Amino acid sequence: MATGSFTTKAKEARPLAIDARGLVKRFDSTLAVDGVDISIPQGAIYGVLGPNGAGKTTTLRMLLGIIDPDAGYRRVLGAENPQDVARLIGYLPEERGLYPSMKCYEAIAFMGALRGVPLEEGRKRGKELLEQHGLGHAIEKQIRQLSKGMAQTVQLLGTLVHEPKLVVFDEPFSGLDAINQGKLEQLIRGLADKGTTVIFSTHVIAHAERLCEGIAIIAGGKVPFAGRVDEARDRIPAQVRLETRNSEGPWRNALPEDTRRVGDFWYFPLPESGVEPLLKALIEGDAGILSLSIERAGLHDAFVAIAGEAAARDMVTNGSGEQA
């Protein structure tokens, strides 16, 4: 079982925003989450990856105290009961919902009031947030007058209006076009730059690869991997891509047995001894090196290796909703 913890390189370990051990949740006869362990440092961007139905939403709801685990331990921002620190948390659920007759800034103020922000202060902050995020023209508009993407942005700003220390997004990129996805990525980076801990679930690996310091992979209610993104990628040896002027010669004996030829290039895993002995053999054997590069595995390849082909296919082909 993966422990779900990770530390920053060349830095002392940071205090934990989330520390959960052995979380279990059943719904009737269905075991939705089976012994999940997750530890997340303060100020990290952390992704919870898995196909729809894997248990991502259930795990997030247990961490937030929306539902209680049947077994296990959780500590959130230092509190054993997440509800004790609810005013320090921002949560954007997958099921979006705003009152359609509310004006945009009023909707943000209302969400802030639920987290202890005085209504007038929330209205002021709501207008400021809308201006800052390019929606100044929509301040007085009703939610029903907005596009889906604009309405989602309003709800996102309502999640942040009380200036939380921990923000949890459940499938935040779902339903957004490429431009708004890019804006959301910038917003997430900005939150982390200010020291806010950001956790988001997703079935789109590219977002996690671009944003996350650490990830937890959930498949079938279990966590086969939790840790730093680079540690996940290192589960697969780096690949060497070699192009030579000559196709034959004694240098061929230096290539690993699992070398494959694709077009003009040779591909093989980076030898444990490193690339230097290989370079020496290629040069002395007159291979005529035209190019040589070392390519690390992407997070998608790491996900396949860790969670399996079936889970990876679900990540690619399924929609955005998750109920498990």
CA distance 206 to 21: 27
CATH classification of 16-229+300-317 is 3.30.465.10, yes or no? Answer: no
- Averages of pLDDT over runs of 10 residues in the chain (324 residues) are 44 83 93 93 94 89 95 95 95 86 96 94 97 93 90 93 96 85 92 96 88 92 90 85 91 89 89 86 92 87 80 56 39
CA distance 44 to 233: 18
> What's the confidence (pLDDT) of residue 305?
84
- Cα Rg of the chain (Å, integer): 24
User: Which residue from 101, 208, 112, 201 is spatially nearest to 151, judged by alpha carbons?
Assistant: 101
- Residue 78 vs residues 20, 160, 249: alpha-carbon distances, Å: 11, 20, 64
List the chain domain ranges: 16-229+300-317, 239-296
β-strand partners of 198:
45, 167
Amino acid identity, residue 135? L
- Put simply, whether the predicted model's pTM sits higher than 0.85 gets the answer no
CA 52 to chain centre: 14
> What's the confidence (pLDDT) of residue 308?
76
> What's the confidence (pLDDT) of residue 315?
67
> What's the confidence (pLDDT) of residue 316?
53
User: Which residue from 53, 43, 54, 22 is spatially nearest to 221, judged by alpha carbons?
Assistant: 54
